Amino acid sequence: MDAAATRQRATELGRYGAYISLNEQAESGELVAVKDNVDVLGMVTTAGGRHLPETPAAADAPIIAAVKSTGAQVIGKTNMHEYAFGVTTGNVHHGTARNPHDLERVPGGSSGGSAVAVSLQLCDWAIGTDTGGSTRIPAGLCGVVGLKPTTGLLSIEGIFPLAETLDAPGPMARDVRTAARALESLSGLSGFDPGQPGDWQPDLAVPLGWEEGLDEPTQRVWDAVSDGLPRIEFPGWKALEDAFQPILFAEASSYHLEWLREQPELYSEDVRNTLNLGFKVSGAGYLWGMRQREPMREAVTRALGSYDAVMIPNTTIVAPLIGEPHVREKLLRYTRPFNLTGHPVITMPAPTPGLPVGVQLVGRIGEDAALLRVAAALEARWGVGTEPAVLG
């Protein structure tokens, strides 16, 4: 991509709130947008908040160093929900990010700016982080591909954490093949290219109890893409969520403890209130959640059986209006469980003429390449992943 033209277009489309800062030194080539909780040498990391010093990072995060080693360049730092603790990217400090398909709707979060940048072609691909769906939710609402790799595949060093044992960085792109190439860049590994799917059709199933509470447009699309797939026994999303919650809140609040005591006024009200919920988690509750991880991980792996992947809705609703209340659970219900178990999950857009509807494909731990092959086969069948967003 042409770096100067991309910076100019990003400025012209500033109303969408994709970027917090642009890299004026970036030259033309493969341009990568980076969520602003990831350190990039010479650029300030805000993590979407106001507590961090306004000092350029002294070194690249390892995943950024890996990307740069391929010749790619960082075009800018993308907008995000404050400290990655929210699902709308309605950031009071750095501006509200808006959905490219409808300016009055949220792009999702917390990696909302990365999804917007990809959707508007303001980068070749982008980096998000995912602690409970923060890459997959905005990918689904903005009509792009978002990958949460197997937890631990990519380093979290140099990334401002939300909950360190749940955090997973990952790529966002307009199509599966670009996401696979991005994962190779981020990891420094090869073998993720899904190749040409040909006539191969993956063997998919839908977990029982994981397709409830969908709004009308999501239900319509879901019925079409899941028609004919077998419904299988699977660990319940609520049981997985119950173990996830104490881990998330305890780890997040502990990291912010001193700032909450000494500089609470620098937080937005919604993030401060959410962080304060962590102080209601007991030590016993946190340890209980941690002890559930391995048996639940094994239960999900067993339930996958011989299927190539299971398919579930990404969110229960299409992109809500900015300011619409009570959307958190509707956006997070089906994404959070796999941050607990660590399984790789890719969100991709389903075919629809209306607002984007994403679906998740869940694969086996450590078999990210196989999951990308499944996604590429579905993408070829559905004919999605080729058109840019229609500006709202």
What residues act catalytically? 35, 110, 134
Lookup: tokens for 5: 């033209």
Lookup: tokens for 313: 């809705």
Q: How far is CA 383 from the centre of its chain?
A: 22
**CA-based max dimension of the chain:** 60
Q: Is 19 helix (H, G, I), strand (E, B) or coil?
A: strand
CA distances from 205 to 76, 253, 345 (A): 39, 37, 14
Sequence-ordered list of residues with C-beta below 8 angstroms from that of 254, at least 6 positions apart, any chain: 278
Buried b (16+ CB within 10 A) or exposed e, 80-117: bbbbbbbbbbbbeebbbbbbbbbeebbbbbbbbbbbbb
Q: Is 307 helix (H, G, I), strand (E, B) or coil?
A: coil
Lookup: tokens for 297: 């991980």
CA angle 256, 320, 180 (to 5 degrees): 70
Q: Please count the other Cβ atoms lying within 10 Å of the Cβ belonging to residue 305.
A: 12
Beta strands in the chain (DSSP E): 19-22, 31-35, 73-78, 90-91, 95-96, 125-130, 145-148, 168-173, 204-207, 231-232, 309-313, 345-349, 358-362
Report how far residue 176's alpha carbon sits from residue 32's, in angstroms, rounded to the nearest whole number: 16
Question: What does DSSP assign to residue 182?
Answer: H
Beta strands in 92-150 (DSSP E): 95-96, 125-130, 145-148
Closest C-alpha among 382, 373, 58, 388 to residue 192: 373
Element (H, E) at 252: helix 237-255
